């Protein structure tokens, strides 16, 4: 089965592209996470459906949500979709720990 990673929208993709210059360390962390997710999309921690923020439901229409812990307390949030013998991991955002706690009301 083929696996692929996509960004949820162009804004997220553009933010990632700028990171290489703005924050090379975080860029490296994310690049490694993308490789891990492409190898095994279930390598993250699944977030219970009841805890999926309404923002994600409205904006991205996600059915599931996964968290990948990055160094320095950063979090990568993604969703998984199956399409015609392909598994897509859709990158929704990455955030520092404080923003993550706020987004998920912890």
Residue-wise pLDDT for 56-106, tens only, equals 999 999 999 999 999 999 999 999 998 766 788 999 999 999 999 999 988
Element (H, E) at 86: strand 86-95
Q: Helix 10-22 crosses helix 24-39 at what angle (to 10 degrees)?
A: 130
- In this predicted structure, the answer to whether residue 1 has a pLDDT above a threshold of 70 is no
Sheet holding 86-95, edge to edge: 2-7, 86-95, 75-83, 65-69, 45-47
Which residues span the domain enclosing 46?
A: 2-103
The count of domains in the chain is 1
Task: Note the pLDDT of residue 52.
Answer: 96
Number of H helices, E strands in the chain: 4, 5
Instruction: Give the domain CATH number at 20.
Output: 3.30.2310.20
């Amino acid at each position: 089965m083929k696996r692929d990673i996509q960004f949820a929208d162009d804004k997220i993709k553009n933010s990632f592209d700028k990171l290489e210059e703005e924050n090379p360390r975080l860029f490296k962390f994310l690049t490694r996470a993308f490789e891990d997710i492409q190898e095994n999309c279930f390598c993250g921690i699944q977030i219970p459906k009841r805890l999926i923020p309404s923002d994600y439901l409205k904006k991205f229409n996600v059915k599931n949500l996964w968290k990948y812990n990055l160094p320095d307390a950063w979090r990568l949030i993604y969703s998984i979709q199956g399409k015609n013998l392909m598994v897509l991991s859709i990158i929704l955002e990455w955030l520092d720990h404080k923003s993550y706690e706020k987004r998920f009301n912890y």
